[in-house]
């Protein structure tokens, strides 16, 4: 099994606990026994934010801080900014030569993003080609595995099809990346919907404990618990999803569950218990974040070394691509 892994995140602002639980914690585990390339995909961010790119630079820095804080280690994995490695754009252009338009127009991610980002004009050439750049990101490193949550494995399909199609025209260059299914614990936002910056319901990795508590305290609970004396059902409560992730004290969880069902405890008590566990997990992360934030040169070095390393692999792939195509070299 090809142990090389690629994954990326768009730098569109501070990351929240949904990113941490659904992706970053898995990335941290993978770096121990896989060759991992983790990219801050700024070209992808520009596709949706081209009308105002003023935050792009700061957002790259924020996301880097979040990654380092959660435990990505530049000694164990390659961390870099996509636009620092020019070969992403080159391979995207090469792949676009063999990409049928119909594949892009039918792509479920394309339709989904258009719906999600209705406040932005995404009727651009680049945005339609989003999956081609995504395929280039993965194929450039000949990544055998791409970590995805169970509900996202379809997103990888186009990259696999593009690898096949390129290989059909020009010979075997690319392996077909496989989905590396990773646990994706439910992490609802404070209003009970999916945690998302655009809903304004997120708990951010960088939020100080005081801020986290201010967001948690009014968080929605099982609506059946209208009064303190009303019994509830943890399975219908978004706060309980957070308990499942943060609170590994199973004995305590059992007591709280009972207390909820027989109205023995109030929701604020339950949230206070949760907050103890949130704080325990997040305080060391935030301390690391602050320490890295004070070391500007270290951040620049991490990205410079990461880009150098990524470029080495990317340049070798592009050499193969150009030879396979038959360009005059």
| One of 174, 240, 246, 275 touching ligand SF4 (CB under 6 A) | 240
Nearest to 246 by CA among 236, 231, 233, 256: 256
- C-alpha torsion angle, residues 288, 293, 299, 300 (rounded to 10): 180
Tell me: does residue 270 bind ligand SF4 (CB under 6 A): yes
Annotated binding-site positions for L-tryptophan: 137
CA angle 17, 84, 302 (to 5 degrees): 60
Asked if 183 and 112 touch (Cβ cutoff 8 Å), the reply is no
At its nearest, how many Å lie between ligand SF4 and the CB of residue 143?
A: 40
Instruction: Indicate whether 278 belongs to the interface with ligand SF4 (CB under 6 A).
Output: no
Binding of ligand SF4 by 306 (CB under 6 A): no
Q: How many residues bind ligand SF4 (CB under 6 A)?
A: 13
In the complex, least distance from residue 147 CB atom to ligand SF4, rounded to whole angstroms: 30
**Considering beta carbons, is residue 199 or 226 the nearer one to ligand SF4?**
226
- Please state the closest distance from residue 195 (CB atom) to ligand SF4, in A: 17
Q: Which of residues 114-173 bind ligand SF4 (CB under 6 A)?
A: none
- What residues numbered 45-104 form the site for ligand SF4, per CB under 6 A? none
Q: Which residues contact residue 138 at a Cβ distance below 8 angstroms, ignoring those fewer than 6 apart?
A: 6, 146, 156, 159, 177
Measured from the CB atom, the residue of 179 and 256 that comes closer to ligand SF4 is: 256
CB of 256 to ligand SF4, least distance (A): 6
Q: How far is the CB of 19 from ligand SF4 (least distance, A)?
A: 23
**Annotation: binding site for ATP:** 10-12, 18-19, 149-151, 194-198
Residue among 6, 70, 71, 90 at smallest CA distance from 40 = 6
- 242 touches ligand SF4 (CB under 6 A): no
Q: Which stretch binds ligand SF4 (CB under 6 A): 4-12, 74-82, 83-91, 266-274?
A: 266-274
Cα Rg for the chain, rounded, in angstroms?
Answer: 22
260 binds ligand SF4 (CB under 6 A): yes
Q: State which residue, 107 or 270, has the beta carbon closest to ligand SF4.
A: 270
Q: Do residues 49 and 56 make contact, with C-beta atoms less than 8 angstroms apart?
A: yes
The token duo for 257 is 């569950």
For residue 76, give Cα distances in angstroms to 6, 27, 31, 35, 271.
14, 11, 6, 8, 36
End-to-end Cα spacing for the chain = 33
Report residue 293 as tokens: 């934030």
Please select the residue that binds ligand SF4; options are 158, 239, 302, 314, rule is CB under 6 A: 239
Report 175-234 residues binding ligand SF4 (CB under 6 A). Answer: 221-222, 225, 232, 234
| Of residues 214, 213, 262, the one with CA closest to residue 234 | 262
CA distances from 96 to 99, 134, 159 (A): 5, 11, 12
User: CB of 239: closest distance to ligand SF4 in angstroms?
Assistant: 4
Q: Which stretch binds ligand SF4 (CB under 6 A): 38-46, 60-68, 139-147, 267-275?
A: 267-275
> Angle at Cα 280 formed by Cα 278 and Cα 286, nearest 5°?
85
Nearer to ligand SF4 by C-beta: 11 or 232? 232
Question: Which residues contribute to the site for ligand SF4 (CB under 6 A)?
Answer: 221-222, 225, 232, 234, 237, 239-240, 260, 265, 267, 270-271
């Amino acid at each position: 099994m090809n142990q090389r892994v690629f994954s990326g995140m768009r730098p569109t602002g501070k990351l929240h606990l949904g990113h941490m639980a659904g992706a970053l914690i898995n990335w941290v585990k993978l770096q121990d026994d896989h060759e991992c390339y983790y990219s801050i995909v700024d070209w992808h961010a520009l596709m949706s934010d081209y009308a105002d790119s003023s935050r792009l630079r700061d957002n790259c820095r924020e996301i880097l801080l979040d990654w380092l804080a959660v435990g990505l280690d530049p000694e164990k994995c390659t961390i870099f900014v996509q636009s620092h490695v020019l070969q992403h754009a080159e391979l995207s252009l090469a792949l676009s030569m063999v990409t049928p338009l119909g594949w892009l127009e039918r792509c479920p991610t394309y339709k989904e993003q258009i719906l999600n980002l209705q406040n932005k004009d995404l009727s651009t050439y680049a945005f339609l080609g989003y999956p081609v750049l995504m395929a280039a990101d993965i194929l450039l490193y000949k990544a055998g595995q791409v970590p995805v949550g169970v509900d996202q494995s379809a997103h990888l399909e186009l990259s696999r099809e593009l690898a096949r199609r390129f290989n059909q025209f020009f010979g075997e260059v690319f392996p077909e990346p496989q989905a590396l299914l990773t646990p994706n614990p439910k992490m609802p936002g404070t209003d009970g919907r999916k945690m998302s910056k655009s809903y304004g319901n997120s708990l951010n990795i960088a939020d100080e404990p005081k801020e986290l508590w201010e967001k948690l305290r009014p968080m929605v609970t099982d609506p059946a618990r209208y009064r303190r004396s009303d019994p509830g059902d943890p399975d219908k409560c978004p706060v309980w999803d957070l308990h499942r992730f943060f609170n590994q004290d199973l004995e305590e969880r059992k007591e709280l569950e009972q207390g909820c069902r027989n109205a023995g405890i109030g929701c604020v008590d339950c949230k206070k218990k949760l907050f103890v566990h949130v704080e325990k997990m997040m305080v060391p992360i935030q301390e690391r974040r602050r320490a890295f934030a004070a070391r500007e040169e270290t951040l620049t070095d991490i990205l410079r070394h990461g880009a150098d390393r990524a470029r080495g692999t990317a340049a070798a792939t592009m050499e193969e691509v150009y030879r396979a195509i038959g360009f005059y070299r």
